[in-house]
Amino acid sequence: MTETLTRPPVNTPPPPRKPTKRRRRAVAEEPGKRWLIHVPLVVYLLFTLIPFYWMIVFAVRPTGSTQLVPWPITLEHFDTVWNDIGFGIFFYNSVMIGLGVLVFVTILSTMGGYALARFKFRGQRVFLLALLCTQFIPGAMMLIPLFVIFKGAGLLNSLTGLVIAEVAFQLPLALILMSGFVRNISYELEEAAMVDGCSRMRAFFAVTLPQLKPALVAVGSFAFIGAWNQFLFALMFASRQDKFTLPVGLSYALGEFNTDFGALAAGGVVAAVPVVLVFAVVQRFLVQGLSAGAVKG
Amino acid sequence: MRTRTWAPYALIAPTLVLMAVFLVYPIGSVVYYSLQRYNVTQPWKNGFAGLDNFKQMLFDDPLFWQSLVFSAKWVFVEVGLQLLLGLILALVVNETFIGRGIARALVFSPWAVSGVLTTGIWILLLNPSTGIFQELSELGIGSPGTSVLGNPDTVFDALVVTELWRGVPFFAILLLADLQSIPKDLYEAASVDGASRWRRFTSVTLPHLKDAIILSTLLRAVWEFNNVDLIYTLTGGGPANQTTTLPLYVARQAVDSHNFGYGSALTVAGFLILLFFSILYLRLSKFGSRA
């Protein structure tokens, strides 16, 4: 180590340059200024992370403490929200709804996305147009008719009802995304399999589905995150506390426990951890997925 | 390939059924309700109302106009700032540097957080006694006991910053997706021609991003217009209805007052406004020419 450090730079043999490397250097000019990229990055990281940090600090330090670096940490607030306020139940409800929506959105959007990408059929353009238009339908403004429908169907205060409503609202965008993914997978292998005597369905499961794995991860986690965070339907359609989801429970905590910041923060951590973890794992698939055609329609 | 087969119809059937029952039929019934007196708490008054709800909305309801003006202000400020900051953030995390993967995951993570949770987190951060302003005042910055959420002059700013926290990342993700599709050769060619960094940005990056910027801004504007959870939980539309958007007003008519008829008329007004945006979107995205 020291030898390389103390060796005068004049003696260093010039590294062999491949042509590609020279071209890359041409782009990365002004090498002295490259560290500047870290200035906005650090500023933005602070903006992002300080609020998270504040929540965690409130969640783990004893009531009344004002330490910024909490030590010793306490789990009393988690005990309060999980057992006394009922976040254990809310957590269960949110997981069930999130998984339900994930399963249905993934399966139905794969079916529909495949249909859009691989077939030409009468009414296709109208269907695609309808899918696009749903992006402009405000959930809040559908509350009244949906409430009437749900009441009529006996789906108020049921997790099933919330799953159905959320699937209906998420499916159009998921389907558009999925058809973009399917279109990016070459059709030739699938065709070859069919020429070899596979049914279309077998060809799909054997050839195309394995290549769709990143798409399934992206669409599924998108659906899970959306369902996990759904607030308005859950607030409107679940009035019984044992059917509350985490966002509804949190909004309740915001109103009722204004002063108990520890409990509020602990509830926030419970609500944030699963979804932020899911997101951290899948965010690069999301970027790919969006470039596969969501924005371009 | 054009095939005469039932397969595509079978594949989209479940989606069609769900859309018909939960999206199309409700829109139709909103229009129907908007012509009715329909209040769950006063069922004896229910019946056909003609255009009374709309007359009331347009001529006797200052809160309708106030919520519309606030909606416009909210969308304009919020989306404008998201576009600016989101573009900067996307450009930054598109550069190559050590730890880029982690940095991306971190700066994008608030997007995964719900509006309610965002509210909770920012209430903790902004509360006057143990929030960040208290800590800053101990360092000699600002005055102790600053309450941005309790002050009518600053509550809007707090609302905007809070929504930026989770909104900028999503905008940045949308734009990053498009940034990555710009061929590297274009930049190399531009540098060989001696174009400065700024020149490359204005002549290569921006023109390439133009469509994505227009379309995602429109989409974002609609989503922010429809955003309810954050404002509902942070201010509840107050103080004195100053932060009530149109969807929030609808939700309050529906949830709190059970005034379904009038709420539906407000909804129809909202639909008409959004219809304008959807037509604009479809025009600009040249829908159909690519299908």
Question: B178 in helix, strand or coil?
Answer: helix
Cβ(B22)–Cβ(A137) below 8 Å: no
Q: Which of A25, A131, A144, A245 would best serve as a mutation to test chain B binding (most B beta carbons within 10 A)?
A: A144
- Name residue A207's amino acid: V
CB contact under 8 A, B177 and A288: yes
Concatenating the DSSP letter of every residue in A73-136 gives ---HHHHIIIIII-HHHHHHHHHHHHHHHHHHHHHHHHHHHHHHHH-B-TTHHHHHHHHHHHTT
Query: What pLDDT is attached to residue A127?
Result: 92
Chain B residues inside the 8 Å CB shell of A232:
228-229, 232, 251
* Structure-block tokens of residue B230: 């954050």
Contact check, Cβ <8 Å, B250/A140:
yes
Pick among A148, A287, A288 to test the B interface (most B CBs inside 10 A): A287
CB-CB neighbors (< 8 A) of A97 in chain B: none
Instruction: State pLDDT tens for residues B30-89.
Output: 899 889 888 877 777 777 877 888 998 899 899 999 999 999 999 999 999 999 999 999
Residues of A in contact with B3 (CB under 8 A): 119-121
How far is it, in rounded angstroms, from Cα B108 to Cα B232? 24
Q: Give the H or E element holding residue A281.
A: helix A261-289
Which comes out higher in pLDDT, residue B234 or A21? B234
Which residue is closest to A288 within chain B, CA to CA?
B177
Could you tell me where the DSSP H helices lie in chain B?
7-19, 25-34, 52-59, 62-94, 100-108, 115-126, 132-138, 155-179, 184-192, 197-200, 206-226, 229-234, 246-255, 260-284
**Residue B121: its chain A contacts at CB < 8 A?**
51-52, 54-55, 268
B12-45 burial: b if 16+ Cβ within 10 Å, else e: bebbeebbeebbeebbebbeebbbbbbbeeeeee
CA A155 to chain centre: 26
Contact at 8 Å (CB) between B65 and B150?
no
Torsions phi, psi for A136 (to 5 deg): -105, 5
Whole-number Å distance between alpha carbons of B266 and B277: 17
Q: Does position B285 have pLDDT exceeding 80, yes or no?
A: no
Tokens standing for residue B289: 């020419």
> What's residue A30's pLDDT?
53
d(CA B9, CA B15): 10
Instruction: Answer whether A229's CB lies under 8 Å from B230's CB.
Output: no
Phi, psi of B47 (to 5 degrees): 160, 180
| Nearest CB to B187 within list A27, A54, A253 | A27
Q: Is B3 on the interface with A (CB under 8 A)?
A: yes
B288: buried, middle or exposed (CB in 10 Å: 19+, 13-18, 0-12)? exposed
Rounded to whole angstroms, the Cα distance separating B246 from A284 reads 35
Q: Do A229 and B226 touch (CB under 8 A)?
A: no
- CA–CA gap between residue B100 and residue B108 (Å, rounded): 12
Which amino acid belongs to residue A26? A
H or E element: which one contains A274?
Answer: helix A261-289
- Non-local CB neighbours of B232 within 8 Å, separated by 6+ positions: A231, A232, A251, B115, B248, B251
Residues of A in contact with B270 (CB under 8 A): 138, 141
Q: What is the pLDDT of residues B147-178, one digit of tens each?
A: 888 788 888 999 999 999 999 998 898 888 88
Tell me the shortest Cα–Cα distance from B243 to chain A, in angstroms. Answer: 16
Residue B254's pLDDT is 79
Q: Least CB-CB distance to B165: which of A47, A111, A247? A: A47
Q: pLDDT by residue (tens digit) across B238-280? A: 788 888 999 899 888 877 788 888 989 999 999 898 888 888 8
Nearest to B31 by CA among B47, B61, B17, B51: B51
* Cis peptide upstream of residue B239 (ω within 30 degrees of 0): yes
Give the gap in angstroms from C-alpha B121 to the nearest C-alpha of chain A.
Answer: 6
DSSP 3-state of A187:
coil
A161/A246 Cα distance (integer angstroms): 16
Distances (CA, A) of A115 to A28, A122, B7, B265: 44, 12, 8, 37
State residue B245's pLDDT score.
92
CB A284 within 8 A of CB B177: no
Residue range B46-285 in CATH 1.10.3720.10: yes
Contact list in A for residue B16 (CB cut-off 8 A) is 127
pLDDT in tens, chain A (297 residues): 333 333 344 444 444 444 444 444 444 445 566 777 788 899 999 999 999 999 999 999 988 777 788 888 889 999 989 998 899 999 999 999 999 999 999 999 999 999 999 999 999 989 988 888 888 887 877 888 888 889 898 989 999 999 999 999 999 989 988 988 898 888 888 888 888 888 888 888 888 899 888 889 889 998 999 999 999 889 888 888 899 999 999 988 887 656 688 889 999 999 999 999 988 888 878 777 766 654 443
Question: Which of B105, B173, B248 comes nearest A290 by C-beta?
Answer: B173
- Cβ atoms of A223 and A102 within 8 Å: the answer is yes
Cβ–Cβ gap A142/B30 under 8 Å: yes
Pick from B109, B114, B285: CB nearest A229: B114
Chain B positions in Cβ-Cβ contact with residue A26 (cut-off 8 Å): 188, 191-192
- Domains, chain A: 87-254 (1.10.3720.10)
For residue A204, give the DSSP letter: I
Containing B37, the helix (H) or strand (E) segment is: strand B36-37
How much is the pLDDT for A295? 44
Residue appearing with tokens 């730890």: B99
Of A119, A139, A278, nearest to B226 by CB-CB distance is A139
Strands B47-48 and B36-37: antiparallel
Kindly report the average pLDDT of chain B as a whole number.
Answer: 87
* Distance, CA of A162 to CA of A165 (rounded, Å): 5
- Paired with B259 in beta bridges are B39
Q: CB burial class (10 A; 0-12, 13-18, 19+) of residue B282?
A: middle
**Of A154, A153, A169, which Cα lies nearest the Cα of A233?**
A169
pLDDT of residue A268: 93
DSSP-derived secondary structure letter, B259: B
Cα Rg of chain B, angstroms: 24
Domain limits, chain B: 46-285
Predicted pLDDT of residue A133? 83
- B114: its two tokens: 């719900």
Residues in chain B within 8 Å Cβ distance of A224:
none
Question: Which residue does chain B place closest to A34, by CA atoms?
Answer: B97
Binary contact (B177, A291; C-beta < 8 A): yes
